[in-house]
Amino acid sequence: MFLSFLTAPRHGTQLFLFVLGAVLVFAAVMAALHTLPPRAKRWLIVACTFVAGLFYLLEFMLPPGTLMPPPGPGEGPVTDNFLSRYVEPVGYVTQIIAAVAIGLGVINLARVNSAPLLRFRPGWQNSLAFFTGLIVMLVVGLWRWKLLLNVTTVAQEKAVNESTIGSLYRFLFDGLYSNLGGTVFALLAFYIVSASYRAFRLRSAEATLMMITAFIVMLGNVPVGTAYLTGWIPDGHWYSFLKVEHMSDWIMNTPNMAAQRALIFGIMMGVIAVSLRIWLSLERGRFFEQEL
């Protein structure tokens, strides 16, 4: 009975009261926990981490049907265990917590950029650019989102995109943001060209082996390599292996594949080890150890 009272949806002032109640209850619980001695707080963190880890671990390890009613007549075999139906809600809750945490980084960026602006130190115009970019994109983005909220037909959407807000948003998003992001990446190609001439030295036999393999793979990827360099070698003979794309194909599918697989097995054991340490709060050192 009490449970159904709690889970009944609330609207209007009732909703406001219940939300307020939730905040008060949450604050009370956190205040109570705050009075705990440091050892108990540390134990609470360890316990929460353990239970959180145990949830997904058990949900995966327990065979289907554990603690579940047997399948009724005509129903297929049960594929879940008693924890499986909580996987989705846990997913939604984590999404909300992660979204709320995004503000954390913004506060830090604002802190770092406000100093030059307030004290008018050199480079203040850069911090001004930062804040203008942030606020304008946020306001215009949310305003356009609000306009698009109850739009369903394509015509309505077209109207919003053509409106001043829609055009301003495209100016910020397509004009500035996408081009800035895309070009930062394109710089890499230019860095590689100068590095090719100045940094990629065949210092050792290993570097030479790496570079020869790189040349084969590069030529195998591009039409100029496949068409002109070894295009004249006919297919279908044992020596057609010398065609650049076949050599590159073999390098990728055999030696590269085997070496990458060995790396995978290493990473596999590494992930087991570190997951155990986090889950059982064995992870001593730096972050986890100081007093509370």
Residue partners of 140: CB distance under 8 A and separation at least 6 = 165, 168, 169, 172
125 vs 256: CA distance, rounded Å = 49
Site residues for another protein, window 79-108 (CB under 8 A)?
79-81, 84, 87-88, 90-108
Q: Read out DSSP for 98-118?
A: HHHHHHHHHHHHHHHHHHHHH
The burial of 62, by beta-carbon neighbours within 10 Å (0-12 exposed, 13-18 middle, 19 or more buried), is given as: middle
| Residue 176 binds another protein (CB under 8 A) | yes
Site residues for another protein, window 156-175 (CB under 8 A)?
157, 167-168, 170-175
| Residue 43 binds another protein (CB under 8 A) | no
Nearer Cβ to another protein (1/189): 189
Q: How many other C-beta atoms can be found within 10 angstroms of the C-beta atom of residue 248? A: 21
Q: How far is the CB of 71 from another protein (least distance, A)?
A: 16
Site residues for another protein, window 120-149 (CB under 8 A)?
123, 125-127, 129-138, 141-142, 145, 148-149
| Residue 68 binds another protein (CB under 8 A) | no
Which tokens belong to 220? 């195998």
Residues in the chain: 292
Nearer Cβ to another protein (4/290): 290
Site residues for another protein, window 188-227 (CB under 8 A)?
188-202, 206-207, 209-227
- According to DSSP, residue 78 is labeled -
Q: How far is the CB of 48 from another protein (least distance, A)?
A: 5
Site residues for another protein, window 247-276 (CB under 8 A)?
248-249, 251-276
Nearer Cβ to another protein (159/278): 278
- Residue 68, phi-psi category: left (phi > 0), alpha (psi -120 to 50), beta (remainder): beta
**46, 68, 233, 247: which one binds another protein (CB under 8 A):** 46
| Residue 48 binds another protein (CB under 8 A) | yes
